[in-house]
Amino acid sequence: MDIVTAKRQFLEYIEIEKGRSLLTVRNYEHYLDRAFSEMKARNVKDITDEKLREYRLSLNRSAGVKIKGQTPGTMKKNTQNYHLIALRSFLKYCRKRNIEALTPDAIELAKVGARHLDLISVEELNRLIKSPDLTTTKGLRDKALLELFFSTGLRLAELCSLNRDLDLSKDEFSIRGKGEKIRVVFLSGEAKDAIRAYLKVRKDMEEAMFVNIARNAVDGRLTPRSIERIVRDCAIKAGISKKVTPHVLRHSFATDLLSNGADIRSVQMMLGHANIATTQVYTHVTDAQLRDVHKKFHSKR
């Protein structure tokens, strides 16, 4: 089968039958386009072991993301794996549809080291949440935004999608996350109080929960980039030298639960992780506690 037709059918399959988001579909298309271009593949059977080997070498030698003021290194192993996973999924689809194709098992993912978590201390977290100026509308918005991130563990895109009609008489609400999956997240008293204070000063008719406020005028829903900038600026104001992002607050949410005794399955459900292996990266936070327990209770001879 020609590669263009096979790719189109595969992308339609993961969108409709597998329920992948449009962002995921676009990412897969980008990764596949690069692979097919470098392999000069016009048909599915043009993807051979030799071309796969050359493609992997090309990925491994590619420049990484350019950061201003820094010399770009090579592409990270995790990023290489995104490309390879897309190609492997495509080949699996072809074999499933009885289209002659290279076996997906021929694609081995690059080995990556243990994932490093960017974390802030409890004291830094408290300073961060207290940093907004509550005498301004923007400050009230930023306070509500930070409290909501820490209370729910929402992803950045999920928080962006929220509307102001949230029912604050309840301690929970449903959110549609990755893969269109719906899960329940929970509101702390602090988060509800912060949201109420923020909404109380809103005089506009925008449906979005978090809006851009310029000179006390509302100018549409906040974008993910805008929220990242707000979190970063609050961290600077709080005197935190580490890089703080919305995802760092999600890390803080998970580690706070685990360090206070929550079981990993519950944390997995609250984070919306499809695979518990993704959640297990957080379990290292209990190591110090386990060490203290061992020292306190073991071998009292």
The predicted pLDDT at position 27 comes to 93
In a domain, 81, yes or no: yes
Shared-domain flag, residues 179 and 70: no
Mean pLDDT on 225-242: 94
Shared-domain flag, residues 14 and 39: yes
In a domain, 67, yes or no: yes
In a domain, 112, yes or no: no
pLDDT surpasses 70 at 292:
no
In a domain, 117, yes or no: no
Shared-domain flag, residues 126 and 101: no
Which CATH number do you get for residue 186?
1.10.443.10
The predicted pLDDT at position 110 comes to 78
The predicted pLDDT at position 275 comes to 82
CB-count exposure of residue 288 (10 Å: 0-12, 13-18, 19+): exposed
pLDDT surpasses 70 at 176:
yes
Mean pLDDT on 244-266: 88
Last residue in a domain, options 106, 131, 157: 106
Return d(Cα 51, Cα 35) in angstroms, integer: 10
The predicted pLDDT at position 113 comes to 61
Shared-domain flag, residues 90 and 151: no
SS3 label, residue 93: helix
Shared-domain flag, residues 11 and 40: yes
Which CATH number do you get for residue 29?
1.10.150.130
Return d(Cα 130, Cα 77) in angstroms, integer: 37
Mean pLDDT on 22-37: 93
The predicted pLDDT at position 67 comes to 44
Q: What is the pLDDT of residues 115-155, one digit of tens each?
A: 566 778 889 999 999 999 999 999 999 999 999 999 999 99
Quick one: three-class SS letters along 116-169? CCCCCCHHHHHHHHHCCCCCCHHHHHHHHHHHHHHHHCCCHHHHHCCECCCCCC
More confident residue, 70 or 182: 182
The predicted pLDDT at position 116 comes to 60
Q: Residue 57: CB partners within 8 Å, gap ≥ 6?
A: none
Containing structural domain, residue 243: 122-291
Mean pLDDT on 290-294: 62
Shared-domain flag, residues 69 and 143: no
Burial 99-121 (b: 16+ CB within 10 A, else e): bebbebeebeebeeeeeeeebbe
Shared-domain flag, residues 201 and 242: yes
The predicted pLDDT at position 119 comes to 79
Shared-domain flag, residues 22 and 127: no
* Residues classed as catalytic: 155, 178, 247, 250, 273, 282
Shared-domain flag, residues 221 and 95: no
In a domain, 298, yes or no: no
Q: Residue 275: CB partners within 8 Å, gap ≥ 6?
A: none
Return d(Cα 66, Cα 100) in angstroms, integer: 38
Domain count, the chain: 2
SS3 label, residue 184: strand
Name the pTM for this structure.
Answer: 0.67
The predicted pLDDT at position 217 comes to 72
The predicted pLDDT at position 287 comes to 61
Q: What is the mean pLDDT of the chain?
A: 87
Shared-domain flag, residues 88 and 126: no
Residue 111 banded pLDDT, cuts 50, 70, 90:
confident
pLDDT surpasses 90 at 11:
yes
The predicted pLDDT at position 109 comes to 85
User: How far is C-alpha 259 from the geometric centre of its chain's CA atoms?
Assistant: 21
Residue with tokens 């805008």: 226
pLDDT surpasses 80 at 200:
yes
Cβ proximity of 36 and 20 under 8 Å = no
The predicted pLDDT at position 289 comes to 61
In a domain, 254, yes or no: yes
In a domain, 205, yes or no: yes
Quick one: three-class SS letters along 237-297? HCCCCCCCCHHHHHHHHHHHHHHCCCCHHHHHHHHCCCCHHHHHHHHHHHHHHHHHHHHHH
Mean pLDDT on 88-107: 93
Q: Of the ranges 41-55, 180-194, 261-275, which one carries the lowest mean pLDDT score? A: 261-275
Residue 70 banded pLDDT, cuts 50, 70, 90:
very low
Shared-domain flag, residues 26 and 74: yes
